[in-house]
Every structure is written in structure tokens, then in C-alpha cells.
């Protein structure tokens, strides 16, 4: 049976507060640990009214303290906002407090945001002219989402300005990963001088790389022989190219003899297909708030979603995300996730679930685990 893990954004729902969201995160961590999930990963998001995981390193400590067995980690640290030393010291501290249970996931999104903000990279990423939605062995691979408008929004620039020191430039992602590894292993040198992170050096962390395409993140993960997390729930159009690029670049290491891939999926499970679709109905409106450049709104109720009047073209902005969400009764969702696992050859699935009511969210994870 394929292992299941949790990706949590600590969502703030309509009518609730960040304090409520963080308390719900601790409760969900306990409940998913009891249900047999392997990992509990916290995302990093900033300036979002509907997301409370702005300081995942702090939240990881709280989740690890509230649980006893489940692995806890980042999904993922946005390396463009941090130095390698700060990352290693933070996660070395977490490992010292909770030895053998901490995962360090590294992502390139913060670096890419900074590159776009200063005009050093195209906002829409590599050209994908002519790509349309297709079905691959039963798995929907939608047409790519064009992020150009989102990446050039004032909100995007504001976030970059607040997350970086004036004049600071993020380092190359591959170099940051290399420095993190050297600091953890105790082999870091600069201009002939050694540096030793304490805590951090010798920490028993699992190091992961997150990626949404077949670009640098996938290549770095493969070349370094590290496990790789591919993003079907955010970038479903790119998941196959991401895992393919990772496997082609893979070289055995002290960490892995062969590639190891976890694939994320957005999931809502309820006793019936109809109820699950109702619970998932606010998802389109929530995703639209992100992709329109406003940042994630508090997750609406199904009634609020039903009352929303969509303007022409707005649904097209979220069509790929809505179409690739797995919402249904346990057997329905299991069949969809089995297709995702088969087509991507995933070794593990990373499940992210958002509903307005916390009880429905907990039940979704528990029903999936049981199924």
C-alpha cells in the first residue's frame, strides 16, 4: 500500500482567525498521525488572509511537540528568502528538539519570485506553445496555466519587497542546496575558512527538493540523489515532465540508491460523491483569489461559493486546478489517486485538503486513510 502524507497550509476559513487555523493544524496533526499518515508538512505562504503558515519553522516545532511519531517538515522552505546557514540552524534546532523526525524540504519559488521582480526571468516560464489538455493513461494533464499576469501584479512585487533585504539578490538554487548539504555534513569552506553550524551540523534531517516543472529543481534533486516532491495539486500540467526530468538526472547517492518521488494531490473525501462535491465547491473561488493576484482569501462556505457571480473568463483562470481536484466518496477518490500513482510512478502521495469546516477536513483525511 502506498504511503500517504499531509501537506497543510493552515487555512483560515471565512469567519475564523489565524489563531483558529493554527489550533486546527495541531488537531489535524494529531488526528492524521493516529490515522497512519507518514509525514506532516507545512507550506510557506506570506501576506495571505486565508493562509496562516507564514512561519512554517515555528509551526513545525509546535506540530512535532503535539505529536510523537509522524515525521514533520517543510513543504517547502522558499530558499530565495533565506540563507543556507539560517535554514540549517533553524532545522538543526528542530532536529535537536525532535531527533529523527524532521524533514527539510527546499523549494525555488522565492528565488524565482525575486528573478521575475527584477526582470531576470520570464514571468510565464518556459514556452509551451500549443500545449492543450490531454489524458495520459486515465490521468488528466491540463493545458498550462499562464502565470504572467499574476507574476507582474503589484501584490507580487510587494511580497518580494517585504521578503528581501534592500539590494539583496537570491543565490542560485543549486548553490544553496550545495551549501545546505555542506553545512549539514560539516564540510563547508569559504575562501579557505571552515564554518560549522551549531545546531545543524550532523543533524539527522531528511532533505527533500520540491519542484513544479522539469526545470532546475528537478535536475538538482536528481543530480544530488535526493528525494523529489512533484506538484500535481498546484501545477498539474507539468507533473509528468517534472518526474521525468528528475529520474533522467538521478545519480545514486549516500541518501538514495534509486529515485524516490512523492506527488501532491488536492483531495476532498466525504461519505458520498455529492457531499464531497458540495464541500469542495468553494475551491474554485479560493484558487481564483490567488491567481487573480489578490492572495488567498479566507476559505468560503459552500453557500458563499454558490452565491458568487462569476464574470466571463474568470472560471478559465482556475479550470486546470478544479478539474484535477479529487473530490468524492472514498472509492471514487481512491480510484483517482491510484491513477495518479500509476501514471507518475509515485512512491508516496502528499494529500492537501481544505474545507470550510474543520470537522469535514479531519473526516476527509480519516476516510481516505481507512479506504
What is the pTM for the complete model shown? 0.94
Mean pLDDT by 10 residues, the chain (371 residues): 96 98 98 98 96 97 98 96 96 98 92 53 48 94 84 80 88 96 97 97 98 96 98 97 98 98 98 98 97 91 97 94 98 98 98 98 98 97
Which residue spans within 9-116 are E strands per DSSP? 39-42, 71-74, 77-78, 102-107
Task: Specify burial of residue 146 (Cβ count, 10 A radius: 0-12, 13-18, 19+).
Answer: middle
CA–CA distance, 369 with 36 (Å, rounded to integer)? 7
Range of the domain at 312: 4-370
Q: Which of 22, 94, 7 is nearest to 52 (CA)?
A: 22
Determine contact, residues 85/71, Cβ cutoff 8 Å: no
In DSSP notation, 335-353 reads HHHHHHHHHHT-SEEEEE-
Looking at residue 145, its pLDDT comes to 87
CA–CA distance, 230 with 261 (Å, rounded to integer)? 7
Q: Residue 248 CB: number of other CB atoms within 10 A?
A: 12
Q: Which triple of cell numbers denotes residue 280?
A: 469542495
Q: Residue 358 CB: number of other CB atoms within 10 A?
A: 18
Determine contact, residues 115/296, Cβ cutoff 8 Å: no
Q: Which residues contact 23 (CB under 8 A, 6 or more apart)?
A: none
The string over 317-354, giving b where at least 16 C-beta atoms fall within 10 Å of a residue's C-beta and e elsewhere, is bbebbbebbbbbbbebbbebbebbbebbebbbbbbbbb
Cα angle 317, 232, 27 (rounded to 5 degrees) comes to 100
Looking at residue 153, its pLDDT comes to 77
Q: What's the Cα-to-Cα distance from 100 to each of 41, 91, 200, rounded to whole Å?
A: 15, 12, 13
Q: What is the CATH number of the domain that holds 297?
A: 3.20.20.30
CA quadruple 104, 38, 240, 256: dihedral sign: positive
Number of structural domains the chain divides into: 1
The string over 181-218, giving b where at least 16 C-beta atoms fall within 10 Å of a residue's C-beta and e elsewhere, is bbbbeeebeeeeeebebebbbebebbbbbbbbbbbbbb
CA–CA distance, 364 with 357 (Å, rounded to integer)? 11
Q: Which triple of cell numbers denotes residue 86?
A: 539560517
**Cα 241 to chain center, whole Å?**
17
Looking at residue 127, its pLDDT comes to 40
CA–CA distance, 293 with 154 (Å, rounded to integer)? 8
Looking at residue 114, its pLDDT comes to 52
CA–CA distance, 274 with 119 (Å, rounded to integer)? 46
Looking at residue 245, its pLDDT comes to 98
Amino acid at each position: 500500500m502506498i504511503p500517504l502524507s499531509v501537506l497543510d497550509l493552515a487555512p483560515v476559513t471565512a469567519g475564523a482567525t489565524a489563531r483558529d487555523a493554527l489550533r486546527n493544524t495541531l488537531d489535524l496533526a494529531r488526528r492524521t498521525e493516529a490515522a497512519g499518515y507518514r509525514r506532516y508538512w507545512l507550506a510557506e505562504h506570506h501576506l495571505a488572509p486565508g493562509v496562516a503558515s507564514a512561519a512554517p519553522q515555528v509551526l513545525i516545532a509546535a506540530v512535532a511537540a503535539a505529536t510523537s511519531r509522524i515525521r514533520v517538515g517543510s513543504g517547502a522552505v522558499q530558499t530565495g528568502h533565506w540563507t543556507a546557514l539560517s535554514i540549517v540552524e533553524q532545522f538543526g534546532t528542530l532536529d535537536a528538539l525532535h531527533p529523527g523526525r524532521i524533514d527539510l524540504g527546499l523549494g525555488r519559488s522565492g528565488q524565482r519570485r525575486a528573478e521575475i521582480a527584477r526582470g531576470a526571468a520570464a514571468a510565464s516560464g518556459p514556452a509551451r506553445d500549443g500545449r492543450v489538455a490531454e489524458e495520459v493513461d486515465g490521468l488528466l494533464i491540463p493545458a498550462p496555466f499562464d502565470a504572467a499576469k499574476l507574476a507582474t501584479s503589484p501584490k507580487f512585487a510587494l511580497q518580494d519587497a517585504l521578503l528581501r533585504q534592500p539590494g539583496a539578490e537570491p543565490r542560485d538554487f543549486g548553490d544553496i542546496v550545495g551549501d545546505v548539504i555542506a553545512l549539514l555534513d560539516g564540510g563547508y569552506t569559504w575562501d579557505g575558512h571552515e564554518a560549522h553550524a551549531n545546531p545543524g551540523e550532523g543533524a539527522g534531517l531528511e532533505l527533500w527538493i520540491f519542484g513544479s516543472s522539469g526545470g532546475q529543481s528537478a535536475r538538482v534533486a536528481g543530480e544530488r540523489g535526493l528525494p523529489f516532491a512533484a506538484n500535481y495539486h498546484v501545477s498539474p500540467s507539468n507533473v509528468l515532465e517534472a518526474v521525468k526530468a528528475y529520474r533522467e538526472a538521478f545519480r545514486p547517492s549516500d541518501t538514495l540508491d534509486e529515485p524516490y518521488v512523492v506527488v501532491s494531490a488536492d483531495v476532498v473525501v466525504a461519505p458520498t460523491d455529492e457531499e464531497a462535491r458540495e464541500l469542495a465547491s468553494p475551491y474554485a473561488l479560493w484558487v481564483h483569489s490567488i491567481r487573480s493576484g489578490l492572495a488567498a482569501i479566507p476559505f468560503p462556505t459552500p453557500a458563499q461559493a454558490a452565491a458568487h457571480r462569476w464574470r466571463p473568463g474568470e472560471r478559465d483562470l482556475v479550470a486546470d486546478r478544479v478539474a484535477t481536484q479529487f473530490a468524492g466518496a472514498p472509492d471514487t477518490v481512491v480510484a483517482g489517486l491510484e491513477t495518479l500513482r500509476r501514471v507518475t510512478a509515485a512512491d508516496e502521495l502528499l494529500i492537501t485538503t481544505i474545507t470550510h469546516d474543520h470537522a469535514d477536513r479531519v473526516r476527509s483525511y480519516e476516510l481516505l486513510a481507512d479506504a
